[in-house]
Structure 1
Amino acid sequence: MTSTLAAGVTITELAPTTRIALRLADPATVPGLSLPTEVGARSADGSRTALCLGPDEWLIEAPEADRAAVLATLAGISAPHSAVEVSDREITYALEGPAVLDLLATGCPRDLARMPVGSGARTVFDTAQVVLTRETDDRFHLTVWRSFASHVRALLDLAQRELAAGL
């Protein structure tokens, strides 16, 4: 579902992807996958991305068609680790437009204007934990657990209407 109002912000629910929550002490032990080591940094290898959420935590995303290949890569890790597929747990919204920072400011306490393009962070929107990635200057992806998605979407839609009305 996509919605756009006069405020110039489009909200689109994105197609499902393969998501893996990876915990690992040494990212260099993952064959064939480049993991960033700075918290908030994101690496891309074709259509696969890895976002460093903590000193030993990454969120790996890939198209559903790459699921088997990603799982095979992770199966090659010889060091102690945890790799949990969380694909069905989360929904991602693309938020795009000139007022996207204003839209996100209605529920997120972070100064997102300072977030560099290509980076990401775990944060909150209202009371729900989310992962935000900044795709371009005026485009973010907001990933939220499915159980909170309707709450977050309702708040985004309300904020979108308020921005369009100039409130």
Structure 2
Amino acid sequence: MLHEHHPLVGREIAVREAAPLSIRVAADCARFNLRLDPSHIEKASKAFGLRLPAKIGAVAVAGGRIAACLGPDEWYLTAPLAEQEAVEAAFADLYATAIHSLVDIGHREVGIEVEGRAALLALRSAIAFDIEAMPVGSGCRTIFDKAQIVLLREAEHRFRIEVWRTFADHVWGILQAASREVALDI
């Protein structure tokens, strides 16, 4: 029997001094990995109910759904939990005309929201690339310390991390340490 355990339930980190920082668990959602020949992007967009971005790193958001293009034929998709079965059914119907792989990865990943003027500082503590250069409305797969994540930049000072449940405590611990440094103005 499978018991669902959310490793970050009830946790929040909040720094309210000179450089505000809020780190919290993102609301749970349906998560999918889509692999598809880019020539079928229009059909997949119709099935998902959101125009899938064609450019690597681009993110589209509408109606509670998110689509991030992670590679030439790969998308990271999220939708409200209540819409999971509808998304799965739409892609099952699509398979007859556009061969693809839609994998439910909701059981393996959790989301963490990092927001505030010190968000970049907190993320820089464990991400090696220049996060400041990451445009708003973009996303990528990267490494946070030793954990693979999907990082979405939702606004200038708001990011979303999608991480495997097994690494969630590790990522949270590093963010917690970074938030202490922010609070102490180190």
> How does the TM-score come out when normalised to structure 2?
0.86
Q: Partner residue of 1:46? A: 63
Query: Could you say which residue in structure 2 is the equivalent of 1:3?
Result: 13
Please say if 1:131 is aligned against 2:150: yes
Deviation at 1:155, TM superposition (A): 0.6
* RMSD (CA atoms): 1.2
Q: What is the rounded CA distance, in whole Å, between the counterparts of 1:44 and 1:76 in structure 2?
A: 23
Q: Give SS of 2:113's match.
A: strand
Query: Hey, what does 1:55 align to over in structure 2?
Result: 72
Cα displacement string for residues 15-57 of structure 1 (whole angstroms, at most 9, x for unaligned residues)? 2100010001132332333211100111123111111000000
Query: Quick check: 2:47–2:90 contact (8 Å CA) kept in 1?
Result: yes
* Deviation of 1:112 (Å): 1.1
Give the share of equivalent positions with the same residue, in percent.
Answer: 42
Letter in 2 for 1:60: L
Contact 2:47 2:87 in 1 (8 A): no
How far 1:2 moved relative to its partner?
1.4
Aligned to 1:160: 179
Aligned residues: 167
The structure 2 residue matched to 1:20, chosen from 14, 24, 32, is 32
After TM superposition, the structure 1 = structure 2 runs for residues 13-162 of structure 1, keeping only pairs within 5 Å, are: 13-26=25-38, 27-30=41-44, 31-33=46-48, 34-77=51-94, 78-162=97-181
Per-residue deviation, residues 57-101 of structure 1 (Å, max 9, x unmatched): 001100101111111221122222111000011111110111111
Compute the displacement of 1:110 (Å): 1.5
Divergent runs of 4+, >4 A: none
1:133 counterpart SS class: strand
Which string of whole-angstrom CA distances, capped at 9 and with x for unpartnered residues, describes residues 110-140 of structure 1?
A: 1111111111111111011111111111110
